[in-house]
Structure 1
Amino acid sequence: MVKKVLVANRGEIAVRVIRGCHDLGISSVAVYSELDADAVHTRLADEAYLIGPGAAAQSYLSIPAILDAARRSGAEAVHPGYGFLAENAAFAQAVIDAGLVWVGPSPEVIAAMGDKTAARSAASDAGVATVPGTEEPVTTPEAVVQFTRQHGTPVAIKAAAGGGGKGFRVVERSEDFADALSGAAREAQTYFGSPDVYLERYLPRPRHVEVQVLGDVTGAIVSFPERDCSLQRRHQKLIEESPSPSLTAGVREEIMAAAVKVSKQVGYLNAGTCEFLLDADGVTFYFLEMNTRLQVEHPVTEMVTGVDLVRAQLLIAAAEGLEFAQSDIELRGHAIECRVNAEDPARNFMPAPGRITEYAEPGGPGVRVDSGAGTGTTVPQAYDPLVAKVIVHGASREGARLRMLRALGEYTVAGIQTSIPFHQVMLADRRFRSGDYHTRTVEGEMSLTPGAGPSPTADEAGVIQRRWTVEVDGKRFEVSARERIGGRRTTKPKPPSFGSVGRGGSEVLSAPMQGTVLKLLVEQGDVVEAGDPVCVLEAMKMENSILAHTGGSIEEVAVEPGASVEAGATIVIIR
């Protein structure tokens, strides 16, 4: 067994792996950027090393900086977590070449399965059905047109080198093919270092079901009961549960066996996940891709099987065999996970970075919180918006659902907007209660009522927030009120708008968030209608189309591609 492991990540997954190391008596080494100098994971680790500025490309994506930290710390192994370099074959090879143990599959398997087109070929060779798609990357709108002539629309454009909703577009109209293709390629380059994208037939109402696998040095491979990850926005998961409410026992056995077939086809080692699309009939499923790392939602599997997946990863990396066989894996009860993101659900899940002014986690039986946050933590714009994960376990699905609602009600995260209100709405929704949902439920069927914007903080000029605890007939209520200093509101509050009246009757379109301008879609003098895209703003690793809030002529363009803008900064002026 290794004695010291460097965790090449940040946030809640770094905390999870550090704790896993400590459970095995292994010393842990954290790395951090300048933005994460006071992060929770740096305090939990036995040692912590600065690896660069806040920009991920100069820190968490810098292979030389991470290897230098490993050398200085005397680490014997590297655990990549998820995201960043976790599915980068060159990083895995560099770790091995440096004489360190890589906690994950071989670089060759990462390269083969990380390339989604190669993964589809491997699945086909294993006798597992795949969604119809291209075998090679595509670069031109003409290739998209040719594909749709054979398979129809809508079509999915997907990053070949990664997943998680990054570099993913769904298009139906031919006039949108060029922008979708370039946008997906640009986001794929930003997040995975490769602009390669491929095409796939898009199933309009599928369920997203995945199977966890573990492979050890003896060649043994086991699979676990499925996780249902169908509730998504922007093709990124929001809520996961196990088992899926839509799978019969027979289909479960088939899909678990299919995951083992694919894994054996490539000689898989360590933890991985095979993702499938389950068609509306609840029986037909297609291999989608394989993630060659630990998944964000791995705690769901841990809760229903009792298997510590991080422990298994570390033991496998130390050349030890699995501690259990396939027959030992049993499904016990039901688990649900809610991802707590720094996003505003009422504004189409717009990124909402900022400083957490008050933080308190829920507890009680069957409740687990994996978090990298606390009071005073700043959620930076530069990284993924995930703040924490709430995972609950119950004897039944309904028991787990009610427990999650209780836990979410106890959770306090003040100072920033989070996805907690969405989760409370979703878990109470008839579609979740019945289990009748799919990958388009959130964006295609739900209407989230616009809120009044972020809660005021101590830094917000002219506004203070007062709180009281009120007791009525033995029941205690938390009451808060906003007070605007120097005036009073006499009209009904309006939904938030990112436009404001400018000079000469013109309208200012403001940036709704801090971010980087990736692309301008208008020029001075152009005429736009309300709802037309004006620019593409990158925030928290996601591209966001900024839409005109009113019609008119572009009087002035106040930004340029590559510019960093603060929330409220002028993008264009429309007359």
Structure 2
Amino acid sequence: MISKLLIANRGEIACRVIKTAKKMGIKTVAVYSDADRDALHVKMADEAVHIGPAPSNQSYIVIEKILEAIRQTGADAVHPGYGFLSENAVFADALAKEGVTFVGPPVNAIQAMGDKITSKKLAAEAGVSTVPGHMGLIADADEAVKISDQIGYPVMIKASAGGGGKGMRIAWNAEEAREGFQSSKNEAKNSFGDDRIFIEKFVTEPRHIEIQVLGDKHGNVLYLGERECSIQRRNQKVIEEAPSPFLDEATRKAMGEQAVALAKAVGYHSAGTVEFIVDGKQNKFYFLEMNTRLQVEHPVTELITGLDLVEQMIRVASGEKLAFGQSDVKLNGWAIESRLYAEDPYRNFLPSIGRLTRYHPPVEGVQDDGTIVRNDTGVYDGGEISMYYDPMIAKLCTWAPDRLSAIDAMSKALDNFEVEGIGHNLPFLSAVMQQERFRSGKITTAYIAEEFKDGFTGVVPDEAAARKLAAIATLINQTLQDRAVAISGTIGNHPRKVGKDWVVTLAGHEFPVTISTSVDGTTIAFADGGKCAVTGGWLPGRTHTIFHVDGEDVGVKINLAGPAIRLRWRGMDVTVRVRSPRVAELAHLMPVKLPPDTSKMLLCPMPGVITSIAVQEGDQVEAGQSLATVEAMKMENILKAEKRSVVKKIAVKAGESLAVDGLIMEFE
């Protein structure tokens, strides 16, 4: 058995591997860059070795630096996690030459299946259905356009060594194919050190379903069910679940057996994933690629199978046989995973960086109702989110006996997850959990684009939700008023009294209410005769409280902003004002302050580096024309003109770093 394991990775996955290694009694070694000196995985490991500057191409993907850390610590095995060097055959071969165990598949399997072009050729030769496309390497943008024209739009431009949504673009016309080729090539080179690109037909209305495989060094290979990964943005998964709500048992078996056959064809061992695109209309599936590593979304498979995949990888790497067969694999219940990203859903999911001024995940483990909450993370309260790495903060998972119960458990867990200091996608995740289309399982990889055509702007509370939030705000206001009375006591010689009648305004709703308190609790009576019974232990200073509104638990995030109360719940973010009737009457007379006019400015939508400026001062630009490219968290973002105009001033140069809303250029 392995005695000391070095984790050649960072963040959440490094922490995940360390937990299992410690459970198995294996000592652990972390590696870290300048940016990760105080990272959680460094604190968790038994030893830690500094390997260089923040950029991953100067630290985490420099093979010699990882080898030096191995020599320095005497580690006898390496787990690569996902991303970075996890599918790098040169790295795996270098470990073998050092006599160090690679906790992953054999080199030949990485070479054959880790390369998307080669894997598609092998799959086709093995009789596996593959997506139509050009499997050869593409020399330049002109050839990319020519091939795309031949295949027929839309096409998917992909990095051969890619993963995690990096180096992928969908092109709907020749211009997008040209731009997408160059951006994919740049991202691939920066993320993987390999800029080879291929193109395939983009299947419309597809579902992204993948099969988890596990094999040992004795020829045994099993499939552990599937994962539905269709909800994606920018080709990167956001919400995953296991099993898929789409597959029937016959299709599951066919996909599983095909995945196993493919793995056996290359002598595969360790954990791996065979990904398929499934045509939601015709129920046909096509081989997409094989990931020769542990997947980000592996926890949902663990929750429905009861297996620890990291433990299995370590045991396989140590030469052990699998202790179970295919007939022993049982899928129990349903699991959902929500990826919490440092990105602003209100700005088209652009990356966000900064300090986590508050990071309080929900309580993990078995809940009172029998559901399970699991949170895999690599950050902590007060930690820093860097611009150099993937923006994922945590993977929140829930398990329940059935799908809707698992979704409801996720909704509650998201309600109770506090993150402050950076932009994040918690409101978006909460919103998806409430959508009828998601709850019914009618999802495709175009889900986000179809359901949020104009971008995510938050959830507008309907009448019922507005009343719940109004009742909660009224109770909060009552607590504040009672506290003020307890402090000040009197006004002159007159005892100060707290009124019972208030007017609550939020998100276009206005509710005259009356609050009354008895031994049985607090009741909020609305002017139209409706009532809400509400209780909660909120006290000034608390930023989260679970209120009980008419018997329902409502976990709300709370911030006081002067006389206003900010409440966040289920994707809603509302500013509530609780006023006396007279003040509410006067408030209607107040003018509305208009936001500043930025229509003639191009502002940086995220913190990042300006990698290129595509225009010059005095140029006339057309709507949709590329203006500048910003790189952040290993992703390139091309900024385009919204309308026809003339460039008046360019405020930055290529290579400069900008904060959110930093000025890039002005227009006449």
**Same fold, judged at TM 0.5 (above):** yes
Partner of 2:342: 342
**1:509–1:549 Cα contact (<8 Å) kept:** no
1:556 partner letter: K
CA shift digits 1:235-281 (9 cap, x unpaired): 00000001111111110000101110110111111111000000022
1:524 partner letter: E
Partner of 1:211: 211
Partner of 2:253: 253
Partner of 1:457: none
Question: Offset at 1:483?
Answer: 5.1
**2:428–2:456 Cα contact (<8 Å) kept:** no
**How far, CA to CA, are the matches of 2:591 and 2:73 in structure 1?**
61
After TM superposition, the structure 1 stretch with the greater mean CA deviation from structure 2, 564-573 or 369-378, is 564-573
Equivalent residue of 1:41, what SS? helix
After TM superposition, the structure 1 stretch with the greater mean CA deviation from structure 2, 389-398 or 173-182, is 173-182
Equivalent residue of 1:167, what SS? strand
Q: Does 1:475 align with 2:535?
A: yes
Q: Does 1:540 align with 2:619?
A: no
Q: Does 1:518 align with 2:611?
A: yes
Partner of 1:459: none
Q: Does 1:450 align with 2:457?
A: yes
Partner of 2:407: 401
Question: Offset at 1:58?
Answer: 1.3
CA shift digits 1:313-346 (9 cap, x unpaired): 0001111111211111011010000000001111
Question: Offset at 1:200?
Answer: 0.4
Partner of 2:376: 370
Distance 1:494 1:382, change over 3 A: farther
1:154 partner letter: P
CA shift digits 1:215-253 (9 cap, x unpaired): 111011001111000000000000000111111111000
| Counterpart among 409, 414, 424 of residue 418 in structure 1 | 424
**How far, CA to CA, are the matches of 2:182 and 2:270 in structure 1?**
35
Distance 1:450 1:493, change over 3 A: farther
Question: Offset at 1:550?
Answer: 6.1
Question: Offset at 1:107?
Answer: 2.0
**1:515–1:538 Cα contact (<8 Å) kept:** yes
Question: Offset at 1:150?
Answer: 4.3
Partner of 2:517: none
Question: Offset at 1:481?
Answer: 3.2
Partner of 2:39: 39
Equivalent residue of 2:166, what SS? coil
**2:148–2:174 Cα contact (<8 Å) kept:** no
Question: Offset at 1:562?
Answer: 2.9
Equivalent residue of 1:554, what SS? strand
**How far, CA to CA, are the matches of 2:256 and 2:398 in structure 1?**
23
2:273 partner letter: T
**2:157–2:177 Cα contact (<8 Å) kept:** no
**How far, CA to CA, are the matches of 1:108 and 1:427 in structure 2?**
41
Partner of 1:152: 152
Structure 1 segment 309-388 matched on structure 2, within 5 A: 309-363=309-363, 364=367, 365-388=371-394
CA shift digits 1:438-459 (9 cap, x unpaired): 001102332444369xxxxxxx
**How far, CA to CA, are the matches of 1:309 and 1:494 in structure 2?**
54
After TM superposition, the structure 1 stretch with the greater mean CA deviation from structure 2, 167-176 or 302-311, is 167-176
After TM superposition, the structure 1 stretch with the greater mean CA deviation from structure 2, 257-266 or 359-368, is 359-368
**How far, CA to CA, are the matches of 2:159 and 2:593 in structure 1?**
42
CA shift digits 1:37-56 (9 cap, x unpaired): 11111111111111111111
Distance 1:187 1:492, change over 3 A: farther
CA RMSD of aligned residues (A): 2.2
1:262 partner letter: L
Partner of 2:112: 112
**How far, CA to CA, are the matches of 1:72 and 1:500 in structure 2?**
54
After TM superposition, the structure 1 stretch with the greater mean CA deviation from structure 2, 274-283 or 15-24, is 274-283
After TM superposition, the structure 1 stretch with the greater mean CA deviation from structure 2, 125-134 or 384-393, is 125-134
Question: Offset at 1:492?
Answer: 4.6
**How far, CA to CA, are the matches of 1:350 and 1:114 in structure 2?**
28
After TM superposition, the structure 1 stretch with the greater mean CA deviation from structure 2, 168-177 or 398-407, is 168-177
Distance 1:469 1:7, change over 3 A: farther
**How far, CA to CA, are the matches of 2:477 and 2:209 in structure 1?**
44
| Counterpart among 439, 443, 447 of residue 441 in structure 1 | 447
**How far, CA to CA, are the matches of 2:423 and 2:322 in structure 1?**
42
Distance 1:252 1:565, change over 3 A: same
Q: Does 1:131 align with 2:131?
A: yes
After TM superposition, the structure 1 stretch with the greater mean CA deviation from structure 2, 474-483 or 177-186, is 474-483
Partner of 1:463: none
Unaligned 5+ segments in structure 2 are 460-475, 480-521, 524-533, 537-546, 548-556, 564-586
**How far, CA to CA, are the matches of 1:133 and 1:293 in structure 2?**
25
**1:470–1:479 Cα contact (<8 Å) kept:** no
**How far, CA to CA, are the matches of 2:417 and 2:288 in structure 1?**
34
**How far, CA to CA, are the matches of 1:493 and 1:516 in structure 2?**
33
Partner of 2:16: 16
**2:169–2:180 Cα contact (<8 Å) kept:** yes
**How far, CA to CA, are the matches of 2:372 and 2:429 in structure 1?**
18
Q: Does 1:560 align with 2:620?
A: no
Unaligned 5+ segments in structure 1 are 453-467, 502-506
**1:246–1:282 Cα contact (<8 Å) kept:** no
**How far, CA to CA, are the matches of 2:594 and 2:379 in structure 1?**
32
Question: Offset at 1:23?
Answer: 1.0
**How far, CA to CA, are the matches of 1:481 and 1:522 in structure 2?**
45
**1:551–1:574 Cα contact (<8 Å) kept:** no
**1:7–1:28 Cα contact (<8 Å) kept:** yes
Distance 1:196 1:382, change over 3 A: same
Give aligned-pair identity as a percent.
43
CA shift digits 1:108-142 (9 cap, x unpaired): 22122121110001111222110011121112344
Structure 1 segment 83-232 matched on structure 2, within 5 A: 83-232=83-232
**How far, CA to CA, are the matches of 2:256 and 2:478 in structure 1?**
52
Question: Offset at 1:60?
Answer: 1.0
**How far, CA to CA, are the matches of 1:245 and 1:125 in structure 2?**
30
**1:469–1:479 Cα contact (<8 Å) kept:** no
Partner of 1:301: 301
- Larger Cα Rg: Structure 1 or Structure 2? 2
Distance 1:482 1:545, change over 3 A: farther
1:104 partner letter: G
**1:247–1:282 Cα contact (<8 Å) kept:** no
**How far, CA to CA, are the matches of 1:430 and 1:244 in structure 2?**
17
Structure 1 segment 26-105 matched on structure 2, within 5 A: 26-105=26-105
**1:213–1:221 Cα contact (<8 Å) kept:** yes
Question: Offset at 1:184?
Answer: 1.2
1:475 partner letter: T
Partner of 1:389: 395
CA shift digits 1:280-328 (9 cap, x unpaired): 2252000000011100000010000001000000001111111211111
- Structure 1 length-normalised TM: 0.91
**How far, CA to CA, are the matches of 2:657 and 2:146 in structure 1?**
38
**How far, CA to CA, are the matches of 1:493 and 1:66 in structure 2?**
56
Question: Offset at 1:147?
Answer: 3.4
Distance 1:351 1:92, change over 3 A: same
2:380 partner letter: G
**2:83–2:163 Cα contact (<8 Å) kept:** no
After TM superposition, the structure 1 stretch with the greater mean CA deviation from structure 2, 183-192 or 298-307, is 183-192
